[in-house]
Structures are given as structure tokens and as C-alpha cells.
């Protein structure tokens, strides 16, 4: 579970999982100071981190000598009905074509990607009757 708390600075928010905290802020164009990740950047980061970890976990589980992984993710909205996560994966190490293919497949099966590919609902647990957002 993630908990957020506002601060005295406009839009600066602290998010915590109970062990680690990070600072978020709205972009300057939206009235914030740009002093932290924006909300959509966290979505990009979630996908990028998941892909990176999934590739590394697969390599460890299968004895693949992977030296490193770099992932990049950018969210775009090509039309009103579509949200797209454009991503790239760079693999470091002396890998066979078969190992590279398996690692790219591991990237495609990361759990966050699977979650975001399903129907998503929002439900308030506040005392007030929930309303769809």
C-alpha cells in the first residue's frame, strides 16, 4: 500500500510504502515546481522498473550471464481512446541470439504490464458513497 501526504509547498507530495519515501511534484507547466517525479512519470517508472527486474530475474533463474539492463519507457496518447507505453530494453553482456530472445520475452511478460493490460476499476474505501471516476 502506498500512502501520500501533502506538504506546505504547492503540489509537493511525499509518497511512502512504509519503508521508503519519495518526493513528487506537479510539472512547472501545471503549477508545480517540478521538484520530484510527476504522477505520470511514476507510471512510466513502474513499467520501466518491472521490465528491468523481470529481465534480470529471468536471467538469474536461467543461468544467463547478463551484465546489465537499461530500460526506457515513455507514455503517449496517440488518440483519445489509447494510452501507449513505448519502451526499449538494452541488454548488456555476451548473449546468444536465443538468450536475447528469451530475455525480450521476459520483458514482455512483466507483471505491471500484465496488470495495466487488464480492465482497471477505481473503488473508494472512504465513508462517503463511492463515485466512479
Give the domain extent around 29.
1-37
Domain count, the chain: 2
Q: What is the pTM of this model?
A: 0.87
Write the DSSP symbol of residue 80: T
- Residue-wise pLDDT tens digits, 92-127: 999 999 999 999 999 999 999 999 999 999 999 886
Residue 64 lies in a domain: yes
Q: Are residues 68 and 99 in the same domain?
A: yes
Is there a contact between 54 and 69 (Cβ–Cβ < 8 Å)? no
Residue 93 lies in a domain: yes
Q: Are residues 25 and 54 in the same domain?
A: no
Q: How far is CA 12 from CA 6, 21, 32, in A?
A: 6, 13, 7
Is there a contact between 47 and 113 (Cβ–Cβ < 8 Å)? yes
Q: Are residues 53 and 88 in the same domain?
A: yes
Beta-carbon contacts of residue 6 (< 8 Å; ≥ 6 apart): 12, 13
Residues of the chain falling short of pLDDT 70: 127-133
Amino acid at each position: 500500500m502506498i500512502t501520500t501526504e501533502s506538504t506546505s509547498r504547492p503540489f509537493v507530495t511525499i509518497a511512502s510504502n512504509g519503508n521508503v519515501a519519495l518526493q513528487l511534484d506537479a510539472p512547472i507547466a501545471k503549477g508545480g515546481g517540478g521538484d520530484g517525479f510527476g504522477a505520470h512519470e511514476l507510471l512510466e517508472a513502474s513499467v520501466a522498473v518491472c521490465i528491468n527486474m523481470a529481465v534480470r530475474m529471468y536471467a538469474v533463474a536461467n543461468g544467463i550471464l547478463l551484465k546489465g539492463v537499461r530500460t526506457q519507457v515513455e507514455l503517449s496518447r496517440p488518440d483519445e481512446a489509447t494510452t501507449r507505453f513505448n519502451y526499449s530494453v538494452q541488454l548488456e553482456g555476451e548473449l546468444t541470439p536465443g538468450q536475447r530472445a528469451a530475455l525480450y520475452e521476459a520483458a514482455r511478460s512483466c507483471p505491471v504490464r500484465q496488470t495495466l493490460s487488464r480492465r482497471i476499476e477505481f473503488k473508494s474505501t472512504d465513508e462517503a458513497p463511492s463515485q466512479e471516476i
